[in-house]
Every structure is written in structure tokens, then in C-alpha cells.
Structure 1
Amino acid sequence: MRLPVVVGVDGSEGSLRALDWATAEAARSRLPLRVVHASLWEHYEGLRPSADTGRPAEQLLAEHLVASARDRVQDLRPEVSVVADVQPEDPVATLVRESHEASLVVLGSRGRGRIAGMLLGSVGLALAGRSHCPVVVIPARQPLAPAKPGRVVVGISDAAGPSAAAVFALAQAASRHGELTAVRAWRRPAHELLSRPSLSGSPASAHCRQAEEHLEEVLQALRERTAREAPERDGSGTVIHRAVAQGPAHQALIEAAEDAELLVVGARRSSVWLGLQLGPVNHAVLHYAACPVAVVPDTYQG
């Protein structure tokens, strides 16, 4: 089943950037596009009709907004199949529900009203922590330098084996006919004993070599898993660059993604009730990365 790309719109400049990105993604992936505007207008307007139309003014505004969004998509990429919908509900609840039947959910980092001045709106944070599919957050500001076409960056944690984020990132790079940069950051805890005392050289050099070996093991397993489970998403021809950096992971990822088209990070689901754990790395890249950021749940199957 060809699950659509879902994009949330609210009429803000940020949501228009998200709409344009989602349109390009749908065209590139040959997927349908679903434009969703969610608002609690019924709770504020009730069912009081306006004098002229018999419908609440907020409902008319919402319908105009999604109609304009649909027209924008058709003007940009007429080959994309697009539907637009208005939901008189909480935006987070609506988009979480949409994520059950979506390939991606896309939204801007800033919305209308009081949250427009925030670095990242509350909807973006809440959705990234509860979505069942990857969430792509589009930054409000334009990057300082143009992105290198097809370049995708992914963070590799110290967990064994390839994560869902790594699988998603390789598929994105392959579908863009681009390249993947896998970033493994490491830090030497104070007073830590070497886990491999037989290694020669300084403690810092030993930690760096361990990080390099772990990164290589993960990438080899990633290639094998992709070839075994998703041969139609062949990533064998995709160039993968290795980057091992000492220091905070969020800093390494933000710097590596300065000229990327997409930065991919993972999120671990702690329980059915608590949703995903958005740690400091997730928060930092969502707030400060210059390129779109995809947050991929560890339960995502693709």
C-alpha cells in the first residue's frame, strides 16, 4: 500500500515551507500527498452560523486555507495526487492519528500565534514524541549555504546493530541518488577505565578506535539488513561516509548536517503510554539544525 506523505498546515510561513518540502518529497517518492489542517474552532465557535454563510467563520477560514494549499501543490507539482482535509480537533491528536497511515508526517518548526516566536512549536515536539512514522520538521530559517543534493546525515548511537533511523536514512539517500554520512560521536567519561586495556596508545585514541570499529560493524550490518529485508530499496550503490567525532553528539550532528538535505535521528519508545523518549540530542537538533530533521521511532518498520 502506498502510504501518503502527510503535511500539517496552519497558514503560517513555516507551514508553507513544510508544504513545499512535502510536495517535493511526494513527487520524488511517487507518493500521494495529504494536506491536513487541524483546529479546535468548534470548541470556540460552537455551531453558531455566520450571517452570510451559515457556517462558523473559523471553519470558512480553515477550508480556504486547505484549498489554497491544494492549489499551491498543483501549481508546484501537478503530477502529485493531493487531497486536503480539515479536522476540528487538536492538531497533535490529529497528526498522531494520521501517522498510523502515513509514510511521513511533515510540519514546520514554527506555527501561528503565540508559538510563532518559539524555536520549535509545541505541536512539533509533541508529534515527534508520539508519532508512529517518521516526522520531518522543516526549519523556519533558510540555511546559510545551499544543501548538497542528495546528502543525508544520520546519527549512530552506541547501541548494537543498525537502528530504524539508520535504515530510513540509507533508504532516503538511495532514493535521492545521493550519499549518506554516518556520524558516531564519542566521549571519554571522567575516571573511566578502558574497556579494552590491551589496546595501545592513549586512552583517547583507544576510545576513538572503539567508536570507529563500532561504526563499521553497524554499517556492515545495515547493508546486510537492507539487502535481506528490502532489496527493492537497494542501497548498495550509495556512498557512505564515516565520521567519528569526539564531543557531544548533537554538536557533531549539527555541524555535519550544515549542507545536508536531511538529518536523521532516532527516538526510543519507552512504553505504550509514555511514547518516545526525546533526549537532549533530539531536542538540540530539532531546535538548531539548519536542514530538515527526521525523527524516526525505533519501532518503525518502513
Structure 2
Amino acid sequence: MELPLVVGVDGSDSSLQAVDWAVDEAAHHGLPLRLIYASLWERYEGGRPSLSTERPAEEVMAQHIIASGVERAQRRNPAVKASGEVLPDEAVSALLRAGSEAWGVVTGSRGRGELAGLLLGSVSLAVAARAVCPVIVVRGSEESRQGAFGRVVVGIGDGAKSSAAVRFAFREAEARGGALTAVRAWRTPAHAHVDHPLIVDDAAQAHEERASVNLDDALRQAAREHAGVEVRRRPAEGPAHRVLVQASADADLIVIGAQRRHGHVGLQLGRVAHALLHHSQCPVAVVPQRV
């Protein structure tokens, strides 16, 4: 059975942007689309007897939100098979459970009711940190969400050889018919002979060359498997989180890996992932990697 692309909806503008992005993504990969709205109204109202024949307001709203989302998806691309479901559960739990049998999970950057000052909603953060499938948080400019740049970026960290994130990024670039830019950040240690400029230059060159080797090693296998994808290797000096946030400015999607340690159920995101989820200027795909 073909796994669906799951998208969480709650009626917010952010979730509607996520629906639009998910429809396009499903079309790129030939996937069915499953829209989910999580609501606990049944837990609080379903068990109480009532003399009224009217449906609870929360039930009416939930059904309206999911029906509107499905209609929106069908209008955007009738060729994508879209279905919707209201689940009697808390949002994070519902999306994590759905993600265990999904190609990926798509969320907006902020949900209905999130505080205006938040850069990222709590649901999106929790799902990205714990899901066993790729999670795409749709954020950034309209240009990037519409795929105007023709470029996918993948961040290459330590131990990224043949990683799930690299393979995911290649598949995305191939499906979109765009280029892939692989970024490896490097830094010269602060203690590297500050009194000898020539030695500092030599040290910087050595670190840059090592970053280039890391890029080649990380990309080699996937590049063979996706020979039609144009690949650009970019070693860049600076902290990884800053380098990748800057790289998101003219990308359609930025892909990063997230380690999932067996038996660990807490939040599992590092500094780079947090920075991108809060500050990226394009959608962010967090791809789990078992260690």
C-alpha cells in the first residue's frame, strides 16, 4: 500500500499554506494526501448525556475545517487524491501516530491559537522533534513555497555519509527538476596562531579543504543514484546554524537530518534544527536518522 503524505490542518492561515504546499508535494511524488484535524471535543462532550439534538459547536467546526481543507486541496490539484479525517486526540499525538505510517508529515509554522510573538508553534516543534518519518514545516516567503528558486539545499553535518537527509534531498531535487546545493559549514579554531596571519590562512584553507572532502564523501553514493540532478557543493565558513539560515534565503526547501536515538522519546533536535525551524526563509524538512 502506498504511504500517504499527511498534513495537519486547524483552520489557521499557516495550516492552509501547509495544505497548498502538501498538495504540490504530493503531486511531485505521486502520493495520496491525508488531511488530519485533531480535536478532543468527543472526550469532553461525547460522554455527557444531552437532551439537545444539535451537534456540539466544536464538532461542527472540526468537520467544517477538514471539509474545507479537502475542498481546497482538490481545487488546487484535482489529480491528487485527497481525504480528510477528524481524530479525537491531541494534535501532537495524532500527527505522530499518523506519521508512523506516512511518507511524511507536513505542518504549518504556527497553529490556531498560538501566541503572535512565537516564531514557531509548539505542535510543529514537537512533531519535528519526535516523528519517525520526515517532517516538513512550511514557512518562509511565498516565492519559496511556490518553488520559484528551483533549488533544494541540504545541510551536511558530521557522519552524513549516505544519510537519510541526503537521500531525501536528492529525491526532492529530482522530483522538482531543480538543482541541489549541499552546504558544509566550517570554522577555523579561535586559538589557531592569531599572531601569525600566514599560519591562520593555511589553517583556514585546510579546514575548507576538509569540508570539501566531507561534502564529496556525503554525496558520492546518492549522486550516483540520481545522476540527473545538478549538484553544487558549497563549503562555507561560519557557524552551521547561521550559514544554513542564510542559505535558505533563495531556496525552495532546506533539508537537515535529526538523530533519533532508540528508546529516547523526548525532543531530539539540535541547535541547527532549532535555528532553521524558527528562522528559515523557506520550508524546512527534518529527516530522522536512526543511530
TM-score when scaled to structure 2? Answer: 0.90
* CA distance in 1 between partners of 2:144 and 2:9 (Å): 25
- Whether 1:261 and 2:252 are equivalent positions in the alignment is yes
Inter-partner Cα distance in structure 2 for 1:113 and 1:49: 29
Q: Is the 8 A contact 1:36 1:85 kept in 2?
A: yes
Q: How far is 1:44 from its partner?
A: 4.0
Alignment partners' CA distance in 1, 2:12 and 2:162 = 37
User: In the aligned structure 2, how far is the partner of 1:259 from the partner of 1:49?
Assistant: 56
The answer for the alignment partner of 1:299 in structure 2 is: 290
Aligned residue number for residue 15 of structure 2:
15
Q: Which secondary structure state, in structure 2, belongs to the residue aligned with residue 258 of structure 1?
A: helix
- SS state of the match for residue 60, structure 2? helix
Percent identical among aligned pairs is: 50
TM-score normalised according to structure 1 size? 0.87
Structure 2 counterpart of 1:237, from 228, 231, 248? 228
Q: 1:50: how far off?
A: 7.3
Q: Does the aligned pair in 2 maintain the 1:12–1:112 contact within 8 Å?
A: yes
Q: 1:46: Cα distance to partner?
A: 4.5
Which AA in structure 1 matches 2:228?
A: G
Deviation of the 1:169 alpha carbon: 0.2
In the TM superposition, residue 7 of structure 1 has moved relative to its aligned partner by 0.3
Taking only aligned residues, the RMSD between alpha carbons, in angstroms, comes to 2.4
Contact 1:265/1:282 (CA < 8 Å) preserved in 2?
yes
**What is the Cα deviation at residue 141 of structure 1?**
5.5
Matched, 1:271 2:271: no
Alignment partner, residue 77 of structure 1 = 77
AA matched with 1:121? G
Distance in 2, matches of 1:212 and 1:39, equals: 48
1:236 aligned partner, one-letter code: A
How far does the alpha carbon of each residue in 1:48-83 deviate from its partner, in whole angstroms, 9 at most, with x for none? 577764432101110111011111111111111111
Task: Provide the rounded CA distance (Å) in 1 between the counterparts of 2:75 and 2:203.
Answer: 58
Matched ranges for 1:203-218 at <5 A = 203-218=203-218
* Counterparts in 2 of 1:276 and 1:182: CA distance versus 1, 3 Å: farther
Deviates more, 1:239-248 or 1:114-123: 114-123
Using the TM superposition, give the Cα deviation of residue 278 of structure 1 relative to its aligned residue in structure 2, in angstroms: 0.4
Counterpart Cα distance in 2 of 1:272 and 1:116: 35
Please state how far the C-alpha of 1:268 moved relative to its aligned partner.
0.4
1:162 aligns with 2:153: no
Aligned length: 286
- Offset at 1:12? 0.3
Find the aligned partners of 2:30 and 2:208 in 1 and give their Cα distance: 41
Deviation for aligned residue 1:270:
2.4
The equivalent of 1:287 in structure 2 is 278
Q: Name the aligned partner's letter for residue 110 of structure 1.
A: R
Residues 126, 56 of structure 1: CA spacing in aligned structure 2 closer, same or farther, 3 A cutoff?
same
SS of structure 1 residue aligned to 2:93: helix
In 2, Cα distance between equivalents of 1:5 and 1:144: 20
For residue 144 of structure 1, report the CA deviation from its aligned partner: 8.7
| d(CA) in 2 for partners of 1:51, 1:243 | 67
Separation (CA, whole Å) in 1 of partners of 2:258 and 2:144: 28
**Separation in 1 of the partners of 2:236 and 2:142?**
26
Is residue 14–residue 140 contact of structure 1 (8 Å, CA) maintained in 2?
A: no
Unaligned runs of 5+ in 1: 194-198, 228-234
Q: 2:31 is matched with which residue?
A: 31
**What letter corresponds to residue 23 of structure 1 in structure 2?**
V
